[in-house]
């Protein structure tokens, strides 16, 4: 009885904040801002805070939660923790949520816990579903290109996963334009609902503009979801006055390290922050708006260590228009 009383109830106005963008030419609509579980959802993070992040996101229309088999630490713990939240708080909303997960990086010892074999992908998704406590995920991704496994095998595994009912759609992550084209041709022949690419993209990282991914995805009418759109927190006001003790650099330090904050980088951040202020935005808002500026990217996939960051980031959607002059200044910086 007590449990029932404390159970989360979603805000009635949850669909009034965020626009939904069609993912390529598929039937799936994704929120313009999605929430990633790479950091702050592992076993070293606070479970109460995880719940607050999920509730704040969902209360504001962020219907898409993105995971991977290896998110933690420990690997797998982000899925396990979301599984608990889904079971205890969000079960009534399962059909309002798009849950994605991935396999492609090192997950368990031996030759079958990494890369892109059929053996690995199918076993990994079965493990993910157990941790999440779900019968299916909405999107299952191959997490990175595998230079050795035949592309046909990896794509056939994705198609088999959809046929088995364990995923509704599939995606590719960290592919380039050329591999995307090849993979798409195979998936099309297999009638596999491949709809989305997940790649790093930010003012600081333009790789997908250079390796053909952005152009090819648009040409093939596939969606793009941009990860680390804030360059893990660098494209915010977080590091303008030193390194806060509760920042990713200090609390984690595995992927974002202190040496990323060179004097040159800090100067770029200061100048971008000034431009953002002139536009009436925070730097985080401007950095997200910049990604959505031309309508090619379906959703920006943010991380957050506290609920206020989610609220700030949603405000980016109020102004995604840039003048030619602003775009020129950003490129120049
Ligand atoms: N497919 C892949 O290979 C891949 C790789 C990486 C990530 N991803 C996905 O992308 C998601 C997002 O990646 P990310 O966490 O690197 O994204 P990000 O949005 O670039 O960085 C998130 C971090 O920025 C800071 N932040 C966020 N909003 C802020 C705000 N308004 N003001 C100040 N600081 C703010 C927080 O850092 P503090 O902790 O310092 O507060 C937060 O943890 C991941 O969770 C994952 O789902 C996928």
Rounded Cα gap, residues 176 and 182, in angstroms: 10
- Token duo for residue 292: 């959505």
1 pLDDT higher than 60: no
Residue 248's nearest CA partner among 232, 230, 266, 231 is 232
CB 248 less than 6 A from any atom of ligand 1: yes
**Mean of the pLDDT values across residues 235-239?**
97
Rounded Cα gap, residues 323 and 330, in angstroms: 11
The Å distance, Cα 149 to ligand 1 centre, comes to: 30
Tell me the pLDDT tens digit for each residue of 113-162.
999 999 999 999 999 999 999 999 999 999 999 999 999 999 999 999 99
Contact 43, 73 (CB under 8 A): yes
CB 39 less than 6 A from any atom of ligand 1: yes
User: Would you say the pTM of this structure is higher than 0.85?
Assistant: yes
Rounded Cα gap, residues 137 and 109, in angstroms: 24
The pair phi, psi for residue 18, each rounded to 5°, is -115, 135
Tell me the pLDDT tens digit for each residue of 249-277.
999 988 999 999 999 999 999 999 999 99
**Mean of the pLDDT values across residues 156-172?**
98
Residue from 66, 172, 231, 304 to probe ligand 1 pocket by mutation (most atoms less than 8 Å from CB)? 304
Closest approach atom of ligand 1 to CA 230 = 20
Atom 19 of ligand 1, residue of closest alpha carbon: 302
Q: Residue 50 to residues 5, 12, 16, 116: CA-CA distances in angstroms? A: 20, 21, 23, 30
Percent of the chain whose predicted confidence (pLDDT) is above 90: 97
Q: Any residues with CB less than 8 A from the CB of 184 and at least 6 apart, and which?
A: 194, 220, 222
Rounded Cα gap, residues 212 and 223, in angstroms: 14
What pLDDT is stored for residue 2 in this prediction? Answer: 42
Closest approach atom of ligand 1 to CA 237 = 33
Q: Any residues with CB less than 8 A from the CB of 57 and at least 6 apart, and which?
A: 35, 65, 304, 310
Rounded Cα gap, residues 207 and 54, in angstroms: 30
**Mean of the pLDDT values across residues 42-56?**
97
What pLDDT is stored for residue 5 in this prediction? Answer: 52
Using left for φ > 0, alpha for ψ between -120 and 50, and beta otherwise, residue 117 falls in beta
Decide which of 101 and 254 is more confident.
101
CB 284 less than 6 A from any atom of ligand 1: yes
* Exposure string for 307-319, b = 16+ CB within 10 A, e = fewer: bebbebbbbbbee
Handedness of CA 319, 320, 325, 330 (dihedral sign): positive
Rounded Cα gap, residues 89 and 112, in angstroms: 34
Q: Residue 134 to residues 95, 112, 125, 287: CA-CA distances in angstroms? A: 12, 23, 11, 34
């Amino acid at each position: 009885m007590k449990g029932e009383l404390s159970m989360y109830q979603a805000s009635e106005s949850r669909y009034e904040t965020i626009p939904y963008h069609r993912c390529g030419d598929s039937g799936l609509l994704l929120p313009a801002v999605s929430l990633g579980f790479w950091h702050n959802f592992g076993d070293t993070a606070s479970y109460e805070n995880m719940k607050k992040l999920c509730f704040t996101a969902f209360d504001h229309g962020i219907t898409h939660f993105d995971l991977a088999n290896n998110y933690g630490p420990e690997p797998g713990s982000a899925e396990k923790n979301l599984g608990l939240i889904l079971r205890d708080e969000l079960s009534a909303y399962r059909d309002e949520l798009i849950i994605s997960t991935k396999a492609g990086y090192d997950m368990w010892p031996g030759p079958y816990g990494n890369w892109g074999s059929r053996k690995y992908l199918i076993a990994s998704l079965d493990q993910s579903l157990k941790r999440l406590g779900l019968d299916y995920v909405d999107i299952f991704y191959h997490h990175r290109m595998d230079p050795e496994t035949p592309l046909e095998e990896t794509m056939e595994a994705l198609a088999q996963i959809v046929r088995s009912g364990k995923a509704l759609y599939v995606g590719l992550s960290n592919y380039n334009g050329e591999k995307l084209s090849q993979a798409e041709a195979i998936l099309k022949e297999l009638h596999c609902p491949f709809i989305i690419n997940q790649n790093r993209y930010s003012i600081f990282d333009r790789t997908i503009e250079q390796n053909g991914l952005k152009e090819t995805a648009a040409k093939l009418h596939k969606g793009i979801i941009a990860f680390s759109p804030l360059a893990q927190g660098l494209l915010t006001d977080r590091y303008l006055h030193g390194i806060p003790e509760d920042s990713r650099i200090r609390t984690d330090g595995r992927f974002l390290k202190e040496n990323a904050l060179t004097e040159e980088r800090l100067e770029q951040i200061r100048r971008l922050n000034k431009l953002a202020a002139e536009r009436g935005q925070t730097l985080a808002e401007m950095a997200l708006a910049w990604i959505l500026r031309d309508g090619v990217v379906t959703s920006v996939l943010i991380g957050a260590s506290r609920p206020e960051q989610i609220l700030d980031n949603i405000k980016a959607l109020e102004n995604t228009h840039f003048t030619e002059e602003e775009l020129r200044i950003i490129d120049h910086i």
